[in-house]
Amino acid sequence: MRCHLAEGAMQELTTAAYSTLPELENALDWTAL
């Protein structure tokens, strides 16, 4: 049961990270300028 919950949490974290990657790249581009 705990393993299943951990997998769900990891999937949510990874999806959230991928969704914020473009925003992070944009922020890096702005700081690079």
The two most distant CA atoms of the chain are separated, in Å, by 48
Question: What is the DSSP secondary structure assignment for residue 1, as one 8-state letter?
Answer: -
Reference 29, options 21, 5, 13; nearest CA is: 21
DSSP conformation class of 33: -
Query: pLDDT (tens digit, 9 = 90+) per residue, 1-33?
Result: 678 888 999 999 899 888 898 888 888 887 776
